[in-house]
Homo-oligomer: A and B are copies of this chain.
């Protein structure tokens, strides 16, 4: 009895520290060994104390990083609202608003909460540069020759080998390299649709997909995205007969960070296979998971070759390299033909650098570090927003990636708020950008893929104050 009481006593002390915010959301807990020393108890007792806190969802273990205050059971702020099923034939993307936001990205004096890539301080730039120098010295003809249209065989082999989550389903021959995921998506849409066709995307969704689809003359149906489980399959079912293709971010959708459960993915692929509707799966955030393992893509459940699995290193390693790929199932040959006609081939150098990075385990190493940082940042951002933003703020609970979605008071128009914030050198992405319809006007997307420090905390406080003053 005494031992049991002891671990509960320790757990209670830590719980009080969490409640009083001595230990804040996102803070790292002392190691089990420290607990052992501080309380003069056995390792087992210390471990049991942590298990107790974990069972109450107050703390969370991160592989190889220790325990963190997660407090999911005591979230002060509720989840954002799920959108409604909407289809569009005439509505246009918010081109002007989007251009306005994109045009500030160059300004280094602005706090860039709006950018769609991790901050360069989180990237292994010195190692990548070393990779470039090594590769350029060994590349035949220094990379001046045309590469085979399908792309660097070393990179394709690397991706196939490294995609363990696909359980050996993929070979180098299944993959075509592209100029980033955006280029993969473009080619997938081009391969399976024609002007005036209808496609489905989730909502809210990355504005680039909406702009791309509309520029190709496609009609877009926006399928509600649950903030935790992603695409609403019941809603999708209703519009299925109209569709020529679906384009979903299955893992950590941008901006919600939600994750489709495996059962949903299986059911989605089953439904689409039945109707022979291709699924363009944008899996560019899949490796930035906060859970124990890398979530499977829908591709893992694809037997008929209808899933076009798109990936890249743009969100994890080097946005500017423009290295992406697609495993396009039965549409592969069409993608290769299109690639040839659009650009002949992709440059070899960066593909080889990434292949090298994969081959020597440097990518896995980097991803482990990056995931820990992003998860910690996610918790820090949630804590800061709970501290600094109005109490009726709703906040997403991302399970990976580096995007946070806020739903503010109904009175607030974040497009107008942006003009105020940018004068104070703070940029964010207004919610209206993420739909073709007139919605999400009181929402914003924040990028937490930044180096956490006091200045960042202060900038979130400033943004919170801007929101408060607007009500």
Contacts and interface: CB of A to CB of B under 8 A. Distances in A.
Interface of A: 102, 105-106, 117, 120, 123, 125-126, 128-129, 132-133, 136-137, 141-149, 179-180, 182-183, 186, 195, 208, 211-212, 215, 314, 317-322, 337-338, 340-350
A146 B125 contact: no
13 contacts: A120-B141, A120-B144, A129-B136, A129-B137, A132-B142, A143-B318, A145-B319, A145-B320, A146-B319, A215-B337, A215-B338, A322-B343, A322-B345
Given A129-B136, A132-B136, A133-B136, A179 B343 contact: yes
A386 to B, nearest CB: 31
A44 B345 CA distance: 54
Contacts of A318: 142-144
Contacts of A183: 342-343
A338 B128 CA distance: 29
Contacts of A149: 102
Contacts of A344: 180, 182, 208, 314, 319, 322
Q: Looking at A147, A317, A347, which has the most chain B CB atoms within 10 Å of its CB?
A: A347
A320 B143 contact: yes
Contacts of A120: 141, 144-145
A463 to B, nearest CB: 23
A215 B149 CA distance: 17
Contacts of A208: 340-341, 344
Given A186-B343, A342-B186, A319 B144 contact: yes
A281 to B, nearest CB: 19
A220 to B, nearest CB: 14
A211 B133 contact: no
Given A319-B144, A320-B141, A132 B349 contact: yes
Contacts of A211: 340-341
A117 B344 CA distance: 12
Contact of A129 (B142, B145, B179, B338): B142
A341 B144 contact: no
A231 to B, nearest CB: 23
A126 to B, nearest CB: 8
Given A347-B347, A349-B349, 11 more contacts: A117-B145, A123-B144, A132-B349, A144-B319, A146-B319, A182-B341, A182-B342, A211-B340, A211-B341, A212-B341, A314-B344
A322 B183 CA distance: 15
Contacts of A319: 144-146, 344
A106 B142 CA distance: 16
Nearest to A195: B195
Contacts of A106: 148
A373 B190 CA distance: 42
A135 to B, nearest CB: 9
Q: Looking at A123, A179, A350, which has the most chain B CB atoms within 10 Å of its CB?
A: A179
Contacts of A337: 215
B144 A125 contact: yes
A344 B195 CA distance: 22
A423 to B, nearest CB: 23
Contacts of A147: 320
Q: Looking at A147, A321, A341, which has the most chain B CB atoms within 10 Å of its CB?
A: A341
Contacts of A215: 337-338, 341
